[in-house]
Structure 1
Amino acid sequence: MRNCTWVAIAIIGILFVIFPVSGCSEFILKNSSPDNVISGRTIDFLYSTLTDTNFAMEPKGQNDISLSSLIPDEPGLSWNNTYGFVGVANFAGIMQEYNEGHLYYLDVLNEAGLSASFLWLNEAQFPHNITNPQNALFYLDLPGWIAGNFKTLDEVKEGLSSVEIWAPEGLDSTYPLHLCVHDASKKSMIIEWVEDENNNPVMNIYDGDMVDDNYGVMTNSPVYPLQLASLENYKNSMPENHFEGLPGGVSMSDRFIRLSKLNEYNQQIPYEMGDISQAFHLLNSVDVAFGNEPSFFEIRGVGSIPGDDYTYLTVVRDHTNPAYYYRSWRDQSIRKIDFSKIDFMKDASDLIPVDPNPVLEMSPLYTDLTYFFQEM
């Protein structure tokens, strides 16, 4: 059995471990137009982890190779993409010394309308050992591997049973993550890697009515079954009583309950972009403003440095006519990446920054309409 070890991660010239972070809310729109499947999420992480985040495209047929070890850097599972996809690429700072040129994704949507997304889960614990290097899938490769290979949840589940998912010891406690998958049939799956009663890491897959009845709502800790249990306490909270008792905080549980209940009573908006607009409105309810969720990270040899966990990026996905709609912390205008205009048979080397810097004038942050009131 191979033992997969890891040394300290260097990011932007400092060594650090991130501590309490809430991070992210995910759902699939309940009452969308009959032929539409729409999902969305917020991405809430410490700013220092998102300074190099871009949308990237991977074409059909692209060969990707995962890792079976970091020290030394050794190859793992290899595959050629069956589907082209677009995703939010991050973790570049973590992996810059390994698997050069390989992208790691927080969120992906493929041309078949299947999405996969990472969210924070403090309890996450991945296997640290593998038995077959050629079958080893480094855990940060999960979204890209899923988007490149699968169309339905059944295919994803079968694929997960055929690989050895692993994390270097220490990295999965620095970046503890769980995974949500939606497909174009409006089905959802939540996958969590946690310790069992014997302190061994195991993979728990939640799907079917358990997830679909709550439309794939997912936030962070605690683990998914406990989140559902807490939701039972709010079954009498509804529009008729103005959602009396509905929690309004930014904690992980508060966001899970609030998004679940508001989505439960969401109504279809009868105009062309109504589903997209409604998805953004629901995500507004779990948006974390800068300064509302203080967090901190620990620099080894220096100590605790305060920071802020806030909504850096909000995305809405169209699974029926695949497209990303998104807005960022600096730029609240909605932008679109339309898959029908992408040739997934060709490579695309360009990246789209998720949060254009106004100092660089990469994107206007507003539309000036003053001229309507000016003399002609």
Structure 2
Amino acid sequence: MCTSIFTMTKDGKHLLSRTMDFSFPLDPNPLFLPRDHQWSSDSDQQSYQNKYGFIGAGRLLGSSYFVADGVNEKGLSIAELYLPGEVYYSKEEKKDALNLAPHELVVWVLGNCGSIAELEQHLSKIHLVEKAAPVLNFVTPLHWIITDKTGRCIVIEPTEEKLSIYENTVGVMTNTPCIEWHVTNLSNYLHVRPQQYDPVTFGTHTANPFSQGTGTTGLPGGYTPPDRFVRAAFFKEHISQAPNEVEGVSNAYHILATVRIPKGIVVTGEGALDYSQYVGTMCNESLSYYFSPYENYQISKVTLTDELLKETKPKFFEADHQEAIKSLN
């Protein structure tokens, strides 16, 4: 599951936002990984040393840090989402390639690429190998939405060995099917609009709208990836553009509220609850990461300040996982 959107404020701030929908309890918190962070790939045990520091949502899986999304000090942001049934990963490592397990791509990209253009220069070298994620103990079928300060938004979907880039002009991503299918599917919803429909005459009877909102008739209401994609695209397109970053984050939460999954609404075939474990938003200009877990609607914020970037060790920022309610009397 998961839904991601990319928006821009009137003052030029670019925001990548996402829900993390999963049935396995990830227990994530905002995580800072510093410059020169060293780690080894689960694929071939090759050692890597990142160039850039970044902040995102993550946790420790085994002896390595798992990061599902984040923004780095150069203003590149990325989020990984599920793509079951569509991905292709190699069975074997490849000589003279960057052999990475799928769950490691976010850490490598944020640690080594300052822009989408820079990522493009490395893309032909990246070789994704079918390796299970520690603790999860299964291979995660992933695709990635990536943005930078230029306002460019791309998607990488590993449907064949050679990775390629899809320019995401809609600025929305969910899950299977692949992104091109979802974009084409929007043509089925040309009738959905914010404006009211006019009264219609049947014989001598005039049928008038029931209150407001008739233009949204036909907007899908389920939690399948196609339904969530259409809703997110519609709300993103028509919500009043935010003037600044704070209101942009608020807009993102309003949009994602239409696709955020409460516990008990989606149950897997194994009986597990698939729900929105957190919402994260990254700002490419302020280098800020906004986070709220399922249990608490209050938004927390961590910024890549000069002081934080001087840190030499990974650092967790514990978010409050209890609902914060402000008493007014």
- Normalised by the length of structure 1, the TM-score is 0.76
Amino acid at match of 2:327: D
Amino acid at match of 1:159: H
| 1:187 partnered with 2:142 | no
Q: What are the within-5 Å matches in structure 2 for residues 189-338 of structure 1?
A: 189-194=154-159, 201-207=161-167, 211-212=168-169, 214-215=170-171, 217-241=172-196, 242-270=215-243, 273-297=246-270, 306-338=271-303
Secondary structure, in 3 states, of the residue corresponding to 2:158? Answer: strand
Give structure 1 regions of 4+ aligned residues with deviation exceeding 4 angstroms. Answer: 169-174
Give the corresponding residue for 2:15: 38
Which consecutive unaligned segments of at least 5 residues does structure 1 have?
A: 1-22, 70-74, 196-200, 298-305, 359-363, 371-376
Instruction: Give the Å deviation of 1:130.
Output: 1.7
Give the corresponding residue for 2:49: 80
Instruction: Give the Å deviation of 1:134.
Output: 6.8
| 1:50 partnered with 2:33 | no
**Distance in 1 between residues matched to 2:52 and 2:259, nearest whole Å:** 32
CA shift digits 1:39-67 (9 cap, x unpaired)? 21100101x3313x232111112233323
Instruction: Give the Å deviation of 1:336.
Output: 0.8
Secondary structure, in 3 states, of the residue corresponding to 1:143? Answer: helix
Q: What are the within-5 Å matches in structure 2 for residues 69-218 of structure 1?
A: 69=44, 75-76=45-46, 78-90=47-59, 92=61, 96=62, 100=63, 102-122=64-84, 123-132=86-95, 135-168=98-131, 174-194=139-159, 201-207=161-167, 211-212=168-169, 214-215=170-171, 217-218=172-173
Secondary structure, in 3 states, of the residue corresponding to 2:43? Answer: strand
Task: Give the number of aligned pairs.
Answer: 308
Q: Identify if the C-alpha distance between structure 1 residues 248 and 109 changes in structure 2 by more than 3 Å, giving closer, same or farther.
A: same
Secondary structure, in 3 states, of the residue corresponding to 1:68? Answer: coil
**Distance in 1 between residues matched to 2:138 and 2:65, nearest whole Å:** 21
**Distance in 1 between residues matched to 2:18 and 2:104, nearest whole Å:** 20
Give the corresponding residue for 2:199: none
**Distance in 2 between residues matched to 1:270 and 1:346, nearest whole Å:** 33
CA contact (8 A) 1:67 1:138 kept: yes
Give the corresponding residue for 1:15: none
**Distance in 2 between residues matched to 1:168 and 1:331, nearest whole Å:** 34
Instruction: Give the Å deviation of 1:35.
Output: 2.1
Give the corresponding residue for 2:209: none
- Of residues 342-351 and 120-129 in structure 1, the stretch that sits farther from structure 2 once superposed is 342-351
Give the corresponding residue for 1:65: 40
CA shift digits 1:251-297 (9 cap, x unpaired)? 11100011111111222234672212111111111111111111144
Q: Identify if the C-alpha distance between structure 1 residues 272 and 325 changes in structure 2 by more than 3 Å, giving closer, same or farther.
A: closer
**Distance in 2 between residues matched to 1:142 and 1:314, nearest whole Å:** 20
Instruction: Give the Å deviation of 1:334.
Output: 1.0
CA shift digits 1:165-205 (9 cap, x unpaired)? 2123899974211111111111111111125xxxxx55342
Which consecutive unaligned segments of at least 5 residues does structure 2 have?
A: 197-214
Q: Identify if the C-alpha distance between structure 1 residues 349 and 178 changes in structure 2 by more than 3 Å, giving closer, same or farther.
A: closer
Amino acid at match of 1:184: K
Q: Give the % identical residues.
A: 25
- Normalised by the length of structure 2, the TM-score is 0.86
Secondary structure, in 3 states, of the residue corresponding to 1:346? Answer: coil
Q: Identify if the C-alpha distance between structure 1 residues 231 and 313 changes in structure 2 by more than 3 Å, giving closer, same or farther.
A: same
